[in-house]
């Protein structure tokens, strides 16, 4: 019912109820009343995420969203460990439900004692060893700590790369913003973004802009789009294409090496995918260059749409000014004035 539009689910409920009754699994009147009420609130845009999750918990097989220090991620964002342990907990709850030790009717009525018993049942499972010796809560919290450590290391790497790029740009000297080219590029981009054809669609998705509500300031719009090439804002639940994954595969050192070479080279610097791959320090043979060039193909396509590269895939004055600024904005939040 929650996987289809709420109006469709409401329309299907009478037939579904008859089929379940015929199958000997009728559910209670209270369940059907609560389902109808919730679906109507969803259709009206009045239901909250917490309300929906609380209704799911009343089935007696949905884990409570927050348990002590741990918060279950939504299904699409769970790690393999999170999915495994969530599934094991669901199976554990299903066993108690089948044995009659969980009463969905009391949960549906929001009985505080039933709620506490339901939570305690889950907490005992989360803090008890599994047959293989793992304690679910410890495993999940340890994984969160590892994620936090990785995030801190990633942010430190970004800051170090940003500082190194600033040093490069200081050596290069002034790179003037080419206002006529910027204005022309943004005029074309505003039209193309509403059109949505490839590769503009990747550019739009990576930057997270709304084609129907674009920034009226040319510089802010262009830099946000260019920042999305380096640091795309893709929705994990929607999936990513091979091209998008390749873009994300580039790390700080890759971006720094490529953009520093472009900044030093200035306008007309060759910037094809192969050229960019050759700028990287670890591109030491033809096989490496082919792999790295594959990562840069989508980057080059997007830079051409932005007007940062010309039709011959050479750096333009707009790209010379804007690509390094967009990279700094992506790494440290620096905003060009």
Domain positions in the chain are 1-47, 64-128, 142-332
Spatial distance between the Cα atoms of 224 and 330, rounded to a whole number of angstroms: 9
Instruction: Report the pLDDT value the prediction gives residue 235, as an integer from 0 to 100.
Output: 41
How large is the greatest C-alpha to C-alpha distance in the chain, in angstroms? Answer: 79
Q: Which two tokens stand for residue 60?
A: 């007696």
Instruction: Report the pLDDT value the prediction gives residue 147, as an integer from 0 to 100.
Output: 67
Residue corresponding to tokens 């066993």 = 95
Instruction: Report the pLDDT value the prediction gives residue 29, as an integer from 0 to 100.
Output: 86
Cβ–Cβ < 8 Å for 225, 207: yes
Spatial distance between the Cα atoms of 237 and 24, rounded to a whole number of angstroms: 36
How do the pLDDT tens digits run along the chain, 337 residues long? 888 888 899 999 999 999 999 998 888 888 899 999 999 988 887 888 778 888 999 999 999 988 877 888 878 788 899 999 999 999 999 999 999 999 999 999 888 899 889 999 999 999 999 999 999 999 998 888 776 666 677 778 888 889 999 999 999 999 999 999 999 999 999 999 988 777 888 888 888 898 889 999 999 999 999 999 988 874 433 333 334 434 455 788 889 999 999 999 999 999 999 999 999 865 567 777 888 888 899 899 999 999 999 999 999 999 999 999 999 999 986 555 4
Instruction: Report the pLDDT value the prediction gives residue 168, as an integer from 0 to 100.
Output: 95
Cβ–Cβ < 8 Å for 9, 1: yes
Nearest to 89 by CA among 53, 135, 43, 50: 135
Spatial distance between the Cα atoms of 176 and 169, rounded to a whole number of angstroms: 12
Which DSSP symbol is given to 280?
A: S
Determine how many CB atoms are found less than 10 A away from the CB of residue 70.
Answer: 17
Instruction: Report the pLDDT value the prediction gives residue 206, as an integer from 0 to 100.
Output: 85
Cβ–Cβ < 8 Å for 230, 326: yes
Q: Residues for the chain: how many in total?
A: 337
φ, ψ dihedrals at 271, nearest 5°? -140, 40
- Residue 291, C-beta contacts closer than 8 angstroms, at least 6 positions apart: 277
Full-model pTM? 0.56
């Amino acid at each position: 019912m929650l996987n289809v539009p709420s109006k469709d689910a409401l329309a299907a409920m009478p037939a579904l109820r008859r089929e379940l009754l015929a199958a000997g699994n009728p559910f209670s009147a209270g369940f059907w009343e609560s389902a109808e009420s919730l679906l109507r609130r969803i259709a009206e845009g009045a239901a909250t995420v917490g309300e929906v999750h609380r209704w799911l918990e009343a089935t007696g097989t949905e884990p409570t969203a927050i348990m002590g220090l741990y918060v279950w991620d939504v299904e699409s964002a769970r790690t393999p460990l999170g999915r495994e342990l969530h599934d094991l907990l669901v199976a554990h709850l299903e066993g108690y439900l089948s044995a009659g030790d969980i009463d969905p009717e009391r949960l549906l009525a929001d009985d505080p004692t039933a709620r506490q018993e339901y939570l305690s049942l889950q907490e005992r499972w989360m803090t008890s060893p599994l047959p293989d010796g793992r304690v679910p809560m410890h495993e999940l919290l340890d994984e969160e700590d590892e994620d936090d450590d990785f995030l801190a290391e990633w942010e430190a790497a970004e800051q170090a790369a940003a500082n190194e790029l600033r040093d490069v740009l200081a050596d290069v000297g002034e790179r003037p913003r080419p206002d006529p080219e910027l204005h022309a590029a943004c005029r074309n981009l505003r039209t193309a973004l509403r059109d949505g054809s490839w590769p503009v669609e990747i550019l739009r998705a990576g930057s997270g802009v709304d084609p129907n509500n674009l920034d009226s300031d040319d510089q802010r719009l262009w830099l946000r789009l260019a920042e999305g090439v380096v640091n795309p804002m893709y929705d994990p639940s929607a999936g990513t294409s091979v091209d998008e994954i390749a873009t994300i595969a580039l790390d700080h050192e890759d971006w720094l090496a490529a953009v520093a070479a472009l900044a030093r080279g200035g306008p007309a610097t060759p910037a094809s995918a192969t050229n960019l791959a050759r700028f990287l320090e670890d591109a030491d043979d033809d096989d490496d260059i082919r792999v790295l060039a594959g990562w840069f193909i989508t980057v080059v396509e997007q830079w051409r749409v932005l007007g940062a590269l010309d039709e011959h895939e050479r750096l333009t004055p707009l790209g010379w000014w804007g690509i390094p600024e967009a990279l700094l904005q992506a790494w440290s939040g620096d905003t060009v004035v």
